[in-house]
Amino acid sequence: MIAILDYGVGNLRSVYKAFETVATPLAMPVDIVERPTDLTRWRAIVLPGQGAFGDSIHNLRRQGFERPLLDAVETGMPLLGICVGMQMLFDSSEEMGQHEGLHLIPGAVRRFADSMPDPTHPGHCLRVPQIGWNQLHVCKADPLLANVPSGVHAYFAHSYFCDASNADAVLAWTDYGIDYPSIVRYRNAWGIQPHPEKSHTVGLRILGNFMTMVAQSGVR
């Protein structure tokens, strides 16, 4: 039912193992898709990501995944982007030059400023990249966040954040010098900036919510 796209990025196996953990009680198969094909054979798509935006979007396009992915989403198929996979859902990124995204969620990916004051250490600035645990402040109800209380911690590792053009697309935000969107949804495309596979219980709950939503709704 779930297709995880393998387009040559890191952390694919850890994402697969996390999905496999939450899939077992639902008896839902999880496939790793290594070459472009008709993705409507599945019921949902997962776009993992790790590393630089430019390399990731280039690999996705070079391996021929972009068109099948966009075609499947156009039919209403649910899509979940993780970390850089979330960032690629946006229109563009300024990481190491300007790069065009998938244009599924309005907005751009921007770098954290180097001069953000650290409130816990006066006179110091927050480190970039942000690495470690931070809070998810839920601001909009959504099936992806069922039983995920506002204020829980998740694991982050990134230097760039998503600047959403549409505030209604933001499901949760995180404070790291600025308040930025950490979980988003626009129509049938969801994105999560922290690594759910490294976020223990809360990460598995979000992945489980995604799979339950797909299994129960049958929405395409």
Do the Cβ atoms of 46 and 31 come closer than 8 Å? no
83 is catalytic: yes
Do the Cβ atoms of 154 and 131 come closer than 8 Å? no
Selecting among 83, 99, 158, 162, the annotated active-site residue is 83
197 is catalytic: yes
DSSP 159-213: SEEEEES-GGGEEEEEEESEEEEEEEEETTEEEE-S-GGGSHHHHHHHHHHHHHH
Selecting among 95, 99, 158, 197, the annotated active-site residue is 197
Would the CA dihedral through 81, 35, 25, 72 be positive or negative? positive
Selecting among 95, 99, 158, 195, the annotated active-site residue is 195
Do the Cβ atoms of 206 and 171 come closer than 8 Å? no
Residues in the chain: 220
195 is catalytic: yes
Q: Which of the residues are catalytic?
A: 83, 195, 197
